[in-house]
Chains A and B, each alone.
Chain A
Amino acid sequence: MSRYLLLLIFNLPFILAGILSILTQYKIGRASRRKLIAQLIIWLLVLLGLILAEPIYNWLFVNGLTKTDSLSLFDVIQITAIVLLFYITNRTRLKLETTERRLQDLHQELSIRLSNKK
């Protein structure tokens, strides 16, 4: 099996999970349309990069822009690890931002209510 195909197969679940996650967030009203579009663009760009990895490498090689060897199995694992890390970082960032927002709102509301009680 071609290593480029293997690269795509390994990474596709993370890309699909990323797309599904933002679609779900949007459908249940936790993400804005703007956030949905931005996230979809990012994941589709990653997908496009993986699909076109072989033609891009060939083009670079033919035009003398790279002298590296073709994709090795180690490269496949390394790229998959990078995509996985990107997926995890992105999810963590979104969750952190939501938590931070909710904590700020809670603190604000609590301060107002406590001052009203006095």
Chain B
Amino acid sequence: MKKTLRVCVVIPAFNEATVISHVVSGIKKAFRNRNYAVEIIVVNDASTDETSKEAKKSGATVINHILNSGAGGATATGLSYAQQNGFGIAVTMDADGQHAAKDVVRGVDEIIKRRDDLLIGSRLIDSAGMSKTKIIGNKGLSAITYALFGINSTDSQSGLRVFSRNALESLRWKTSGYEFCSEMLWRAKQLNLRISEYPIQALYTDYSKTKGQNNWNAVNIIKNLLKRRIAELLG
């Protein structure tokens, strides 16, 4: 089968040696027999464990960060690679295994069908399997994103996002921590990009529960978002 569209799957990772090969293999398997030429990029954000080695072993292209830059910085590096190397579509996903590989493939299908620029995989359209604390935390952050930037999203913190070529070329953000999720939506809105959502399943294992954002991280995210908003007002 001739692979027509080049798709780049970006996985920002920090100390994920335990699960990274499982995540990469899952993606490779899900894209098998599909009409996409897929390259999996693991952005190793200066991990202190064997993340880089494990990712390489499982067949991913690895970009090693020299300095730890946070989720926002690692995602920016991966998407910049996708843009420089002429990929038609890029997908970002978490490295802790909380995203189902089938949802990544479905995201690529959906963005082509809908002709959107940015497609967010929302865990909260159907929140089955998610703990109440996580639901409250994520809904709270989405409400704050709406209050600060006027963006209505059911899951503003989702790491599973699909980008069109147009979005890859134009979308940039300034924050480097987890708050980049909300800032990215804001920048996309400023650029008049077409944004939409599709439902995804969140797979919470004991491992991913320890790796994801907790509600204390949410406080830090809110603080940094407020800082960014004020800095933007000052010029």
Taking beta carbons and an 8 Å cutoff, which residues of A are in contact with B? 22, 31, 34-39, 42, 90, 93-94, 97, 101, 104, 107-112, 114-115
Contacts and interface: CB of A to CB of B under 8 A. Distances in A.
A108 to B, nearest CB: 5
**Considering the complex of A and B, which 5 residue pairs feature the smallest CB-CB distances, nearest first?**
A38-B235, A35-B235, A115-B63, A39-B235, A108-B77
Interface stretch (B64-72, B146-154, B162-170, B217-225): B64-72
Contacts of A97: 174, 231
Given A111-B66, A115-B63, A115-B81, 8 more contacts: A34-B235, A38-B234, A104-B76, A107-B67, A108-B80, A110-B66, A111-B65, A112-B80
B62 interface: yes
A22 B235 CA distance: 10
B61 A42 contact: no
Given A111-B64, A111-B65, A114-B64, A104 B235 contact: no
Contacts, number: 53
Secondary structure of the A contact surface, majority rule: helix
B137 interface: no
Interface of B: 43, 61-67, 69, 73, 76-77, 80-81, 84, 174, 176, 231, 233-235
B129 to A, nearest CB: 35
Contacts of A35: 235
A22 B81 CA distance: 33
Contacts of A111: 43, 63-66, 77
Contacts of A108: 73, 76-77, 80
